[in-house]
Structure formats: C-alpha cells, structure tokens
Amino acid sequence: MSASAIFVLDLKGKVLICRNYKGDVDMAEIDHFMPLLMQHEEEGLVSPVISHGSVHFLWIKHSNLYLVATTNKNSNASLVYSFLYKIVEVFTEYFKELEEESIQDNFVVVYELLDELMDFGFPQTTDSKILQEYITQEGAKLEVAKSKVPTTVTNAVSWRSEGIKYKKNEVFIDVIESINVLVNANGSVMSSDIVGSIKLKTMLSGMPELRLGLNDRVLFALTGRDKGKTVVMEDVKFHQCVRLSRFESDRTISFIPPDGESELMSYRINTHVKPLIWIESVIEKFSHSRVEIMVKAKGQFKKQSVANNVEVRVPVPSDADSPKFKTSTGNAKYVPEKNLVVWTIKSFPGGKEFLMRAHFGLPSVENDEAEGKPPITVKFEIPYFTVSGIQVRYMKIIEKSGYQALPWVRYITQSGDYQLRTNV
C-alpha cells in the first residue's frame, strides 16, 4: 500500500539510518539508488520515482540528506511523498535542524520515532506535538511521567492534549497573503494569483471550541447578508482540526485548535491582481564588451502603505565582470555566485518610482555554454494590508470553564513566486 522501508542517506548515498517495515524488499536494493540517481541526473532526466527491477524508489532531498522510500507494490505515491515530508517536519521539530549530524547524534530517538510514525507501511501518529509527549529525548524523564500513551494519540482530537493551562488566554491570528505573478517579456501579465494563509498562535487553556468568521462571499450569500466587501476564495485547504463537513454544508470554520503555532487554513484567489511592484527593465547586451541594465520599479499600491525590505533581483550573464551601479534609492549589490544584481530598498512607499542602472563588462572571448533566461524576481512585504481585502470578522472562543480570551489579528501581504521575464 505504501512504503516497504524508509532510508535516510547522506549525499554520497551511504545509509545513515533505516527502518524496514514490511520485509518484502531486499534492504540491499538501496545500493542501486545513488548510482541510478546520478545516471538520471547526467541524462537530465531526474524524476522523483526511480525504479530498479521490481523495486521503486520514491525520494525527496532535504539539506544534505536523501529520504527514500522503497516499495515493490503499486503504492499510493502521493501518500508516500506526503509522509516523507511529514518525517522532515517531525524531525525538524525534534532536532531544530534536520541534517546528517542531527541524525547521527540522535539515532536512538530517530529509531523510536520511525517505529511510532509508521507501522507495516501505514503512517500512524505523525503530530510532533503529541509525539513529544511520549517520545522524549531524555529517557529518564520518560520513565517517570510519560510511560503512558497519551489518550490524544487515538482520540478523534488527535492534535491537542487535554489539561493545557495558560494564565492569560490569547490567540494570535496572522493573515498572510502571497502574490504570485508571471509577467511576459513584453510586459503582459501571463498569470497571477493570491495564496493566502491564516496562521494561529494559540495560547488557550483546556479544550476550547473556536469559530472563525471571514468576509467570505459564499457564506454571506448563504446567510443572506449583503454588507461590505466580500472575498471569493477559489479553493480552501484546512488543517486536520477543522470540521470539513461542517464547512462544506454551511461554510462555518469551526475547530478545536492545536496548541501553539499552526497553519489553520490556506486559500487561493484567482482574481487578476495588479502587480504591486511593477518592474520595467531594459537589458542590453553588447557581445564581447558590456551589459547595460536599467531597471525601473514602481509601487502600485496605496500611498499610505509602505513595502518593506524590497529586493529586486536582476540576472546577469555568468561571465560578467567589473560591476558599476547607480541607484536613485537603496543599494545595489552584485552576487556573482548567483549571477545576480540584488537591488535592496528598505522602505518603498506606494505610488513612488525608483531607478537603478548597472553596467558590467563582458570578456572578449565569449562563453560557449548557452545560458538560460532567468527572470527578474522581486521580494517584498507590505504590513497592515491584504490585497484580496479578506478580513477576520470575528473569532469566537468557547471553553467550558468560561474564560474570556482575546484574539489578535495581523495582516501582511508579501511576494510569492514573483517573476518577470526579460528579453535577454
């Protein structure tokens, strides 16, 4: 059904740790993985699935590690990849950073986790907060207090333990919208969308019931309310804690939240957004002598708002040299290892326009290798503002002890995958 065994390999393909769940695939098969991967890389045909005879390797890479699942059945591939990423998430929460050293230093816990995360190829408990209640890094602590299965593991509410206590009950809500834009070299917007995310930091006692109200157009239409600006969410994805059937029937977002930080939901909005920072560029390449770059950045958002930490990244040929810059504001820097000019503007008010010029020399002997046409990319953050106009109208918090709790809301818009193609 899913994985027969899971391996963690270093960059050379050496097994750091592994767990055989089903015993139907020879563990030595893993030796074929790295040579095959390298062969595929050479041929330019990398694929997330590699097969060798009747064995299939499904793999992901994380920092200096490969996580590989083997199978010889018609496994559920999407489940396997989701699970591999879940392992990364759990290990990262346990060891802060997941890399070769953290695996080697913590092999006992890694074994325990692998034993608990999956059984006979079926993923089991993968919520790291709950796992931390009974698989701890210090065995001594475990002996005394936590030698019992937390009921949470098998509860319908498998993401929150009972008996959580806070002196002050608060919830922090972050609404973060990322703008994805793809602009063609001739300046037309090929595609654009907004991916929003609502993140919670919950500091609430007991087992609180929460309800989140948004200015969701479908909800307003259902309830017959017709006031103010509403937002059409194309697609919504929820954390395990949200009652999906309830949302499906009456668009109510109701849930018992996980403790601490979590992503409650994400949504996608398809509306055509005006690129908040518009870039016009002229890149002229004079073979064997120089490249001249002129970039104009314009803030296409309200005057009252300010975009922070703006970075405009302009690609330059890999053999360019002796950079010279001129900027009307901010700072331009050449990053040769990435073949980029990075133009940084700490604070970029709406409606303003800035200019950057760059000049590079080119060697007289031309580079033979063809280079791709990387796009200009832009990074920014605009606080106190969402492009879509989405709003948290209320957050109701009900707990049987009857405490009062305060929700805090923060809005921010940022760049997502923000690409502008160039002519060169």
Partner 1 sequence: MLEPDPNYFSSFVCSGEIFELKAELNSDKKEKKKEAVKKVIASMTVGKDVSALFPDVVNCMQTDNLELKKLVYLYLMNYAKSQPDMAIMAVNTFVKDCEDPNPLIRALAVRTMGCIRVDKITEYLCEPLRKCLKDEDPYVRKTAAVCVAKLHDINAQLVEDQGFLDTLKDLISDSNPMVVANAVAALSEIAESHPNSNLMDLNPQTINKLLTALNECTEWGQIFILDCLANYTPRDDRESQSICERVTPRLSHANSAVVLSAVKVLMKFMEMLPKDLDYYGTLLKKLAPPLVTLLSAEPELQYVALRNINLIVQRRPEILKHEMKVFFVKYNDPIYVKLEKLDIMIRLASQANIAQVLAELKEYATEVDVDFVRKAVRAIGRCAIKVEQSAERCVSTLLDLIQTKVNYVVQEAIVVIKDIFRKYPNKYESVIATLCENLDSLDEPEARAAMIWIVGEYAERIDNADELLESFLEGFHDESTQVQLQLLTAIVKLFLKKPTETQELVQQVLSLATQDSDNPDLRDRGYIYWRLLSTDPVAAKEVVLAEKPLISEETDLIEPTLLEELICHIGTLASVYHKPPSAFVEGSRGVQHKRLPGSTGLGESLESPDTGSAAGGSDAPPAVIPSQGDLLGDLLNLDLTPPATTGPPPPPTSGMQLGAMDLLGGGLDSLMGAGFGAAPAASPASFSAPVSGGLDDLFDLGGGVGMPMGAYNPPKTVWLPAMKGKGLEISGTFARRAGIIQMEMTLINKAMSVMTDFAIQFNRNSFGIAPAGPLQVLTPLSPNQTIEVALPLNTVGPVMKMDPLNNLQGGSF
Q: Which two tokens stand for residue 330?
A: 């901010």
User: Using the rule CB under 8 A, is 112 a contact of partner 1?
Assistant: yes
Residue number with CB closer to partner 1 (19 or 359): 19
Give the DSSP per-residue string, 255-276. E-PPSEEEEEEEEEE-S-PPPS
* DSSP designation for 41: H
User: Using the rule CB under 8 A, is 418 a contact of partner 1?
Assistant: no
Residues between 248 and 307 that touch partner 1 (CB under 8 A) = 248, 263, 265-266, 268
Of the CA atoms within 13 Å of residue 268, those in its CB half-sphere come to 7
- Beta carbons of 224 and 202 less than 8 angstroms apart: no
Residues between 321 and 360 that touch partner 1 (CB under 8 A) = none
Query: How far apart are alpha carbons 155 and 160 in whole angstroms?
Result: 9
Token pair 């929700």 in the structure block, residue: 407
User: Using the rule CB under 8 A, is 366 a contact of partner 1?
Assistant: no
Query: Of 36, 164, 182, 342, which one interacts with partner 1 (CB under 8 A)?
Result: 182
CB of 84 to partner 1, least distance (A): 8
Query: Of 66, 375, 385, 390, which one interacts with partner 1 (CB under 8 A)?
Result: 375
SS3 114: helix
Token pair 């559920």 in the structure block, residue: 76
CB of 359 to partner 1, least distance (A): 25
Query: Of 371, 396, 406, 408, which one interacts with partner 1 (CB under 8 A)?
Result: 371
- Beta carbons of 400 and 206 less than 8 angstroms apart: yes
Residues between 199 and 238 that touch partner 1 (CB under 8 A) = 234-238
Q: Which two tokens stand for residue 356?
A: 């950057």
Query: How far apart are alpha carbons 128 and 382 in whole angstroms?
Result: 32
CB of 347 to partner 1, least distance (A): 28
Query: Of 11, 111, 187, 322, which one interacts with partner 1 (CB under 8 A)?
Result: 111
AA letter at 92: T
Kindly write out the interface string for residues 130-149 of this chain, putting x where it contacts partner 1 by CB under 8 A and - elsewhere. ----x----x--xx---xxx
Show contacts of 56-59: CB within 8 Å, 24+ apart.
57/30, 57/33, 58/3, 58/84, 59/33, 59/84
CB of 352 to partner 1, least distance (A): 28
Question: Applying CB under 8 A, which part among 116-124, 166-174, 384-392, 395-403 lies near partner 1?
Answer: 116-124
Residues between 27 and 66 that touch partner 1 (CB under 8 A) = 27-28, 31, 44-49, 51, 54, 56, 58, 60
Distance of CA 337 to the CA centre of its chain: 25
Query: Of 101, 115, 250, 366, which one interacts with partner 1 (CB under 8 A)?
Result: 115
AA letter at 102: S
Question: Applying CB under 8 A, which part among 103-111, 165-173, 273-281, 349-357 lies near partner 1?
Answer: 103-111
CB of 201 to partner 1, least distance (A): 18
CB of 209 to partner 1, least distance (A): 16
